[in-house]
Amino acid sequence: MRLTLPRHPRARRRDVPTTARTGRDARAAARRAGPRQHGLPGSACRRRRLRRYGGGAVAVALLVVLILVLAAVVAFAQQVPPQQIPPPPPVAPNPATVLTNIRNWIMGILAGLATVFLTVGGVRYILSGGEPGEVGKAKDAFKHAGWGYGLAALAPLAVEILKALVGTA
């Protein structure tokens, strides 16, 4: 007859019941179970760390965005008298100007997206806690950011090719 001991509520399936662990067995079970903090599995540790430090980072980010929005509202709140309103900008005079504007927009959008990917990759890398899957995702985000910056750098070349095809070079 085999004696079974009650399992601890947080014990993993492969763990020996907590009351039966002693000495070398306890150390071996702890090594197999992975990193723990306060008796919680590794994923719960990461969630607790994210709740502890992530909330402050989110609050700081929201405060910065709020300050920037308020500064923009104050900067643009000055009323321009009706007689000083400038006329609308003229329509693009030629296709070369249109293509140059398209190039500038493409470069700005690609550089902005690449910066977002770089930021997300950095945050993922910091919060990964050494977990290989999360570190791999962070490195992928860094790689995608590099592709975005590379394409932004090549945007002028693409527009020059378009200018040559259209005949406005």
**pTM for this entry:** 0.44
For residue 59, the model assigns a pLDDT of: 74
Count of CB atoms situated within 10 Å of the CB of 113: 16
Local structure of 130: helix, strand or coil: coil
DSSP-assigned letters across all residues of 44-112? HHHHHHIIIIIHHHHHHHHHHHHHHHHHHHHHH-SPPPGGGPPPPPPPPSSHHHHHHHHHHHHHHHHHH
For residue 47, the model assigns a pLDDT of: 62
Best-predicted range by mean pLDDT (33-37, 88-92, 122-126): 122-126
Q: What residue spans define the domains of the chain?
A: 93-169
Beta carbons of 101 and 92 less than 8 angstroms apart: yes
Q: Which residues fall within 8 angstroms of residue 99, CB to CB, at 6 or more apart? A: 159, 162, 163, 166, 168
Tell me: the pLDDT tens digits for 52-104?
A: 666 666 777 888 888 888 888 777 776 656 677 777 877 767 877 888 888 89
The stretch 42-56 carries a mean pLDDT of 61
The alpha carbons of the chain give a radius of gyration, in whole angstroms, of: 29
Position with higher pLDDT, 115 vs 169 = 115
Position with higher pLDDT, 168 vs 124 = 124
pLDDT band for position 11 (cuts 50, 70, 90): low
What is d(CA 169, CA 167) in angstroms, rounded to the nearest whole number? 6
For residue 133, the model assigns a pLDDT of: 92
